[in-house]
């Protein structure tokens, strides 16, 4: 019996043959950065997940939980990968009190399916994240991938109110609760956000929900250069207008954005030149509020000498919002080799953005830049082939991006890069001063280091 068949057989005797897969074709679908697991296990309940974790501890096996596997490439290649724990078998809504605006769901439920249930009660979760059609709630939380709505609703940390999970001792644990305000015990669930499966197997997540707005709208303004766009954006932010989405697109980003080129038939009627910078705002609220915000944005755009601006129709706004929500997904495939950074920079210094563009110019690579809310910048360096020369051409500018973020009192990480570059550049950037504290957290949750070893910051 091969090692894989042997592993699968023992798992089958543990939780049943129908929950274990070891066929090669399926194993390949769970590969992470070229590493293929020895078996896939699909638990149907939290106790079953705990059983698998207990087995992994006893056998010293490395285990990586996953949902729809839409973002498995995030993070570093795993140091070891024996078991894929497919959590999509846990997909129930455990509790939904629409009157209290609170919700408790299994980690494996697809976000799209959940949204439908919430919409029936006129509610939603502000998780407008990439890979939206397939992603699970658990994967969204574990990856902490940005929601385009964060300008208004904050990050998951702000509306995740509790969690249940299996820790590295195979114990079923919980943190927080199902109430919107709670300081009972340590907020361990906050540590799970963005932890990339390295602390625990998330089995259930509790949220506060939000009411769907009565109305929404969108506005686009075009500027002939970065400076104009930055002046406008600063004025918009200072105005205090409540904007759900606020994004700045460089001309190169615009050229890459699928289906929104100027002059097409998606409703972008104003005179948007292809070499301009675009600032897109989307907003929501009552019937009275939406036109007021539109008026104010038009006024601010004209004061900032926009070369053109337009209030979007509802369908154009939905269309553009959906495309920008998916930016991570399409940017990573926008050229044969792409280094896609997520950078956090002080909002008040547009000079930092110019610095990023000059990194690309000096390297002769194409680049594209998208500024999201709260100083978050998506910056893509694009190489025209994926051979060794591409790796070489990406490596030096990538190092400069990390360095520029650091000296600007911000930080950077690589969301996507060719595998060879990932290993050499370290996608998480340089170790931060609190790294030793993170190791302590890892050791507390997962003393045997069985969860997704090597994928997280500093090799955690």
Partner 1 sequence: MTAPLLRELNSLLGPSNVLHKIEDLVLYEYDGSVEKARPDLVVFPHTTEDVSRIARLAAKYNVPIVGRGSGTGLSGGALARGGGIMLVFARMNRILELDIENARAVVQPGVINLDITRAVEHAGLYFAPDPSSQKSCTIGGNVAENAGGPHTLAYGVTVNHVTALELVLPDGEIVRVGSRHGDAPGYDLGGLFVGSEGTLALVTEITVKLTRKAEAVKTLLAIFDTVDDASHTVVEITARGITPAACEMVDGWTLCAIEDYIHAGFPRDSAAILLIEVEGLREAVEAQAAAVEDVCRTHHAREVRIAKDDRERDLLWKGRKNAFGALGRLAPSNYVLDGVIPRSKLPQALQQIQLIGKKYGFSVGNIFHAGDGNLHPIVLYDPRDAKQFENAIAASHEIIRYCVELGGALTGEHGVGMEKNELMSLLFSDADFDLMRRVHDAFNPDSSLNPGKIFPLSKGCGEIRVRKQAGALPAHV
Q: Smallest gap, in angstroms, from Cβ of residue 249 to partner 1?
A: 20
Q: Which is nearer to partner 1, 74 or 260 (CB)?
A: 74
Q: Does 48 bind partner 1 (CB under 8 A)?
A: no
Q: Which is nearer to partner 1, 31 or 344 (CB)?
A: 344
Other residues' Cβ atoms within 10 Å of the Cβ of residue 43: 26
Alpha helices in 326-434 (DSSP H): 327-331, 351-363, 388-407, 419-425
Q: Is 130 helix (H, G, I), strand (E, B) or coil?
A: coil
Q: Which is nearer to partner 1, 38 or 176 (CB)?
A: 176
Span of 125-133, 286-294, 307-315, 393-401 interacting with partner 1 by CB under 8 A: 286-294
Q: Does 137 bind partner 1 (CB under 8 A)?
A: no
Q: Is 88 helix (H, G, I), strand (E, B) or coil?
A: helix
Q: Smallest gap, in angstroms, from Cβ of residue 38 to partner 1?
A: 28
Q: Does 16 bind partner 1 (CB under 8 A)?
A: no
Q: Which is nearer to partner 1, 38 or 162 (CB)?
A: 162
Other residues' Cβ atoms within 10 Å of the Cβ of residue 320: 24
Q: Does 423 bind partner 1 (CB under 8 A)?
A: no
Q: Smallest gap, in angstroms, from Cβ of residue 321 to partner 1?
A: 21
Q: Which is nearer to partner 1, 190 or 224 (CB)?
A: 190
Q: Does 434 bind partner 1 (CB under 8 A)?
A: yes
Span of 20-28, 85-93, 186-194, 328-336 interacting with partner 1 by CB under 8 A: 186-194
Q: Looking at residues 199 to 228 of the shown chain, list those that interact with partner 1 (rule: CB under 8 A).
A: 199, 210-212
Q: Which of 34, 288, 364, 388 binds partner 1 (CB under 8 A)?
A: 288
Q: Does 407 bind partner 1 (CB under 8 A)?
A: no
Span of 54-62, 81-89, 151-159, 266-274 interacting with partner 1 by CB under 8 A: 151-159
Rounded distance between C-alpha atoms, residue 43 and residue 24, angstroms: 20
Residues sharing a CB contact under 8 Å with residue 290, sequence separation 6 or more, in sequence order: 215, 216, 217, 283, 284
What does 13-37 look like in DSSP terms, one character per residue? HHH-GGGEE--HHHHHHT-BTTB--
Q: Does 286 bind partner 1 (CB under 8 A)?
A: yes
Rounded distance between C-alpha atoms, residue 440 and residue 446, angstroms: 10
Q: Does 375 bind partner 1 (CB under 8 A)?
A: yes
Q: Are 125 and 209 in contact (CB under 8 A)?
A: yes
Span of 62-70, 125-133, 272-280, 437-445 interacting with partner 1 by CB under 8 A: 437-445
Could you give the string, one character per residue 97-136, with x where binding to partner 1 holds by CB under 8 A and - elsewhere? Answer: xxxxxx-------------------xx-------------
Q: Does 262 bind partner 1 (CB under 8 A)?
A: no
Phi, psi of 457 (to 5 degrees): -55, 140
Rounded distance between C-alpha atoms, residue 194 and residue 208, angstroms: 19
Q: Which tokens go with 407? A: 């000296």
Q: Looking at residues 345 to 374 of the shown chain, list those that interact with partner 1 (rule: CB under 8 A).
A: 345-348, 374
Q: Which is nearer to partner 1, 198 or 308 (CB)?
A: 198
Tokens 């991570």: give the residue: 328
CA angle (439, 443, 445) in 5-degree steps? 120
Q: Which of 433, 414, 426 is nearest to 457 (CA)?
A: 426
């Amino acid at each position: 019996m091969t090692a894989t068949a042997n592993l699968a057989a023992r798992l089958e005797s543990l939780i049943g043959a129908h929950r274990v897969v070891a066929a090669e074709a399926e194993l390949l679908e769970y590969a992470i950065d070229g590493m293929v697991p020895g078996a896939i296990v699909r638990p149907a309940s939290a106790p079953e997940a705990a059983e698998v974790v207990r087995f992994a501890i006893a056998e010293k096996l490395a285990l990586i939980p996953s949902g729809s596997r839409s973002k498995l490439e995030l993070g570093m290649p795993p140091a070891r990968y024996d078991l894929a724990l497919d959590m999509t078998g846990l997909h129930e809504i455990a509790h939904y009190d629409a009157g209290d605006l609170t919700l408790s769901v299994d980690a494996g439920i697809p976000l799209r399916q959940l949204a439908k249930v919430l919409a029936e009660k006129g509610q939603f979760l502000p998780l407008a994240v990439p890979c939206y059609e397939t992603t699970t709630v658990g994967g969204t939380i574990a990856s902490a991938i940005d929601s385009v709505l964060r300008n208004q609703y904050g990050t998951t940390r702000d509306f995740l109110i509790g969690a249940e999970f299996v820790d590295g001792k195979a114990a079923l644990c919980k943190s927080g609760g199902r109430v919107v305000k709670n300081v009972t015990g340590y907020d361990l669930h906050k540590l799970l956000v963005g932890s990339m499966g390295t602390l625990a197997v998330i089995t259930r997540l509790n949220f506060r929900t939000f009411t769907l707005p009565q109305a929404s709208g969108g506005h686009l303004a075009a500027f002939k250069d970065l400076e104009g766009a930055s002046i406008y954006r600063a004025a918009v932010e200072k105005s205090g207008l409540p904007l759900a989405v606020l994004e700045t697109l460089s001309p190169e980003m615009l050229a890459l954005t699928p289906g929104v080129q100027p002059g097409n038939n998606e409703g972008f009627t104003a005179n948007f030149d292809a070499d301009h910078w675009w600032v897109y705002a989307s907003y929501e609220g009552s019937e009275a509020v939406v036109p007021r915000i539109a008026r104010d944005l038009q006024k601010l755009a004209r004061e900032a000498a926009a070369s053109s601006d337009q209030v979007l129709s509802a369908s154009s706004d939905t269309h553009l919002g959906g495309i920008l929500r998916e930016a991570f997904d399409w940017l990573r495939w926008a050229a044969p080799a792409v280094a896609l950074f997520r950078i956090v920079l002080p909002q008040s210094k547009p000079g930092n953005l110019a610095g990023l563009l000059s990194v690309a110019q000096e390297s002769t690579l194409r680049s594209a830049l998208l500024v999201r809310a709260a100083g978050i910048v998506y910056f893509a360096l694009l190489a025209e082939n994926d051979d060794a020369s591409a790796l070489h051409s990406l490596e030096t500018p990538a190092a400069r991006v990390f360095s520029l973020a650091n000296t600007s009192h911000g930080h950077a990480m690589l969301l996507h890069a060719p595998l060879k570059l990932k290993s050499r550049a370290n996608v998480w950037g340089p170790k931060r001063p609190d790294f030793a504290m993170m190791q302590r957290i890892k050791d507390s949750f997962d003393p045997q280091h069985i969860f997704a070893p090597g994928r997280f910051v500093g090799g955690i």
